[in-house]
């Protein structure tokens, strides 16, 4: 997470302020954490739905087809989850 004022990477935030420019960052940090939590919840719901749907869909399939479907779903969940950690 980066400081909204100076763009410096916020590794530690003494007193809710940026160590480089002393700008207030407490509200910014809370907003970013809430955003990440919402995204993680959406990814978890989508992943659960995909696993349940695939288990129903791949019941009659062979091993190779099942692996291909799970790999596709894993790629989709990875694509959704990687946006969570983008700056």
Ranges of each domain in the chain:
14-85
Both structure tokens of 38: 């919402």
Q: What percent of the chain has pLDDT over 90?
A: 0
Confidence band (pLDDT; 50, 70, 90) for 15?
confident
Q: What percent of the chain has pLDDT over 70?
A: 94
pLDDT digits (tens, 9 = 90+) for 16-39: 888 888 888 888 888 888 988 888
The whole-number pLDDT of residue 83 equals: 67
Contact residues for 46 (Cβ-Cβ < 8 A; gap 6+): 76, 77, 80
Mean pLDDT of the chain: 80
pTM higher than the cut 0.75 = no
What per-residue confidence (pLDDT) applies to 29?
A: 85
Distance separating alpha carbons of residues 86 and 1, to the nearest angstrom = 9
Average pLDDT of the segment spanning 56-62: 75
């Amino acid at each position: 997470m980066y400081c909204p004022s100076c763009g410096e990477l916020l590794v530690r935030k003494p007193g809710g302020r940026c160590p480089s420019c002393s700008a207030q960052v407490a509200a910014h940090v809370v907003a970013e954490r809430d955003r990440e939590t919402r995204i993680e919840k959406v990814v978890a719901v989508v992943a659960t739905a995909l696993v349940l749907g695939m288990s129903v869909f791949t019941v009659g399939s062979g091993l190779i087809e099942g692996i291909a479907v799970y790999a596709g779903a894993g790629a989709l969940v990875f694509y959704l989850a990687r946006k969570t950690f983008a700056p």
